[in-house]
Amino acid sequence: MWLINSSVGRKVVMSVTGLALILFLTFHMAMNLVAIISEEGYNLICKFLGANWYALVATAALAALFVIHIIYAFWLTMRNRTARGNESYAVTDRPKTVEWASQNMLVLGLIVLAGLALHLVNFWSNMQLPELMDKMGFAANVTHAHDGVYHIKATFANPVFTVLYLVWLAALWFHLTHGFWSSMQTLGWNNKVWIDRWKSISNIYTTIVVLCFAVVVVVFYAKSLC
């Protein structure tokens, strides 16, 4: 199958899943900003999403996208290293035309993955998961299942979590700034005019998304100090 056997096909899968995840991050970022504007409004969104069938379908689809993206990322990295063989040790200096993020996408991806695991522990496991367990008849504490603001405050009142989230967001910024325009290049926007434009759009768009996430972290940490 072309999407599996071809190097170009594997890159296409990486690009499509990556862009889909960027769209989700955009939605998640917009949702989080509501918590700053209206805590009640944010909790209403959390209740609307919750463990309802449409939210569960979206969660499953998102998980599938993420797993596919990770698998293909490791696959492409291993194939590239195998293809280079011993030549990968012959050059120690990074060419000036190659971005730092491009050379470290796997490491950045692992940091992003670790941050996602932390995020799931702090939020998903305390919100959608217990609600889902309760609906399935298992004993679960659903007292704060829809109280997203409660969990945001509890998480970012801890300075360790605050720092870890900011480090996660920094790694996410590097990962996305390269991944965004690289995906567009893979999908055909590879002429000299548009690739430069996509690099600029990638930097601006990613900076806005990541900065908005960071604002939520810093604002709620600052509130915890008051």
Neighbours of 115 (CB within 10 A): 18
Question: How far apart, in whole angstroms, are the C-alpha atoms of residue 162 and residue 223?
Answer: 12
Q: Which of 160-169, 171-180, 217-226 has the lowest mean pLDDT?
A: 171-180
Q: What is the pLDDT of residues 87-112, one digit of tens each?
A: 444 444 444 444 676 777 778 888 99
Give me the residue spans of the domains in the chain: 14-225
Nearest Cα residue to 151 out of 124, 190, 183 = 124
Contact 162, 221 (CB under 8 A): yes
Q: What pLDDT is recorded for position 97?
A: 42
Which pTM does this prediction carry?
0.88
Q: What pLDDT is recorded for position 120?
A: 95
Q: What pLDDT is recorded for position 92?
A: 46
Confidence tier at 215 by pLDDT (50, 70, 90): very high
Nearest Cα residue to 68 out of 12, 17, 3 = 17
- For the domain made up of 14-225, give the CATH fold: 3 helical TM bundles of succinate and fumarate reductases (1.20.1300)
